[in-house]
Copies of this chain bind each other. A is one copy, B any other.
Amino acid sequence: MSTVPAARVGDSVDAIDTPALVIDLDAMEANLAALSAFAGSRKLRLRPHAKMHKSGAIAALQMQAGAVGVCVQKVGEAEALADAGVSDIFISNEVIAPGKLARVAALAGRVRLAIAVDSALGIERLAAALQAAGATLDVFVEIDVGQGRCGVAPTAAGALAHQVVAHGLRFAGLQAYHGRAQHLRTLAEREAAIRHAVTAVRTAQASITSAGMQCPLVTGAGTGSFAFEAASGVYGELQCGSYLFMDRDYAENEIDTATGVPRFAHALFVKSQVMSRGAAHAVVDAGHKAHAIDSGLPGLWQRADLAYGNGGDEHGILTARTPGATLPALGETVWLVPGHCDPTVNLHAHFIAVRGGLAGGVVEAVWPIDARGRLT
């Protein structure tokens, strides 16, 4: 028996069982439109990161709003989204295992597919898998733009791009995402980090030119930094993911709306309820099996007078933050704003999508989280 959704289409918000992952559709659609408008006005391609929502239904909404396709991090995510109808997918990550590369090659026969590489061995194995399947795809060379994780040094980009072509593959450009920059709190810090990334991209482009090739596209950027990549003149495609839902952590970033950057609204919530009460605390039924805490504990929606404390896997412990705060009663609903949306979504089987707000709204859709737990 698979997991039963916490509500059905047509249910009132009050009737949604807890804990449940709830989307405020009005807020989500405003976020969707705002980033599409931003990218359109800058003549930039938008390829949102679907590692965040893992949902074919949401990817379809993004593509209807102008996205050229989506990014994912795992082959299994790409397969699940292809099964759910997504037709253009970029695996913005390295794949080394021959068994996985055979799956990549099989998938390349079904959808428009791209992948990142950062090693000669990776290119060699990818080429062998594609040749065996008689398939082809776009290959982006990933460069390290300051994250210190995957990607070659910018000066090595030309040599790697040359190897891509020498193996009969299509060189599509540079993957240049700076993950660590996204959560730097001040505008000045993020601007400095992306200035560093842009310098790295220019170095990589020069390396590619020296190798006698052209760089068709530079892709990267996230919800914390995209305004800087957009203004750089070198990035042609934005990969923001979290903009659609926002989370407690991203909302703490300083932003400058005067530059045309939209202020995205919280659109993703965990509905929870009080299941135990003490004299000075209330226990809710959502712990860190219901929301990820890698970026800190969740916020409490419209209850600034309360504090959420870690109650373990299945519980959260609410206490008063301001004197005289009234703790919620047994059975009362409390809405949590996840600390980090991506791994929170991965804990749930369904989105419960609500129209008309959290107070008084109605369930308009129930979407499976198609790529939940697709780790390989």
- Knowing A97-B18, A122-B330, A283-B150 touch, does A6 contact B376 (C-beta < 8 A)? yes
> How many angstroms between the C-alpha atoms of A110 and B372 in the bound complex?
30
Contact B343 A288 (CB under 8 A): yes
Contact A315 B150 (CB under 8 A): yes
Contact A275 B373 (CB under 8 A): no
- Number of this chain's copies in the complex: 2
CB distance from A334 to the nearest CB of B (A): 13
- Knowing A276-B119, A376-B18 touch, does A1 contact B79 (C-beta < 8 A)? yes
CB distance from A89 to the nearest CB of B (A): 15
Does A357 sit at the interface, judged by CB under 8 A? Answer: no
The residue from B18, B150, B292, B375 contacting A290, defined by CB atoms under 8 A apart: B375
> How many angstroms between the C-alpha atoms of A125 and B294 in the bound complex?
36
Contact A273 B317 (CB under 8 A): no
A59-90 Cβ-contact flags toward B at 8 Å (1 or 0) = 00000000000000110100110010000000
> How many angstroms between the C-alpha atoms of A270 and B316 in the bound complex?
27
Does A144 sit at the interface, judged by CB under 8 A? Answer: yes
- Knowing A97-B18, A317-B149, A330-B96 touch, does A80 contact B289 (C-beta < 8 A)? no
- Knowing A148-B317, A149-B276, A374-B3 touch, does A331 contact B97 (C-beta < 8 A)? yes
Contact B288 A144 (CB under 8 A): no
* B residues less than 8 Å from A19 (CB atoms): 375-376
Contact A331 B375 (CB under 8 A): no
Does A237 sit at the interface, judged by CB under 8 A? Answer: no
> How many angstroms between the C-alpha atoms of A148 and B342 in the bound complex?
30
CB distance from A337 to the nearest CB of B (A): 17
* B residues less than 8 Å from A373 (CB atoms): 3, 347-349, 372
- Knowing A96-B330, A346-B289 touch, does A3 contact B76 (C-beta < 8 A)? yes
Does A139 sit at the interface, judged by CB under 8 A? Answer: no
Does A313 sit at the interface, judged by CB under 8 A? Answer: yes
* B residues less than 8 Å from A376 (CB atoms): 4, 6, 17-20
Does A311 sit at the interface, judged by CB under 8 A? Answer: yes
Does A95 sit at the interface, judged by CB under 8 A? Answer: yes
Does A247 sit at the interface, judged by CB under 8 A? Answer: no
* B residues less than 8 Å from A286 (CB atoms): 375
The residue from B73, B76, B315 contacting A313, defined by CB atoms under 8 A apart: B73
Contact A99 B17 (CB under 8 A): yes
> How many angstroms between the C-alpha atoms of A302 and B373 in the bound complex?
27
Contact A347 B348 (CB under 8 A): no
Does A121 sit at the interface, judged by CB under 8 A? Answer: yes
* B residues less than 8 Å from A99 (CB atoms): 17
* B residues less than 8 Å from A51 (CB atoms): 313-314
CB distance from A256 to the nearest CB of B (A): 26
Does A22 sit at the interface, judged by CB under 8 A? Answer: no
Task: Pick 12 A–B contacts, CB within 8 A, sort by A.
Answer: A17-B99, A19-B376, A74-B314, A93-B275, A93-B314, A94-B275, A96-B276, A148-B317, A150-B283, A289-B343, A294-B310, A313-B343
A positions within 8 Å CB-CB of B: 1-4, 6, 17-20, 51, 73-74, 76, 79-80, 83, 93-97, 99-100, 118-119, 121-122, 144, 148-151, 179, 273-278, 281, 283, 286, 288-290, 292-294, 310-315, 317, 330-331, 342-343, 346-349, 372-376
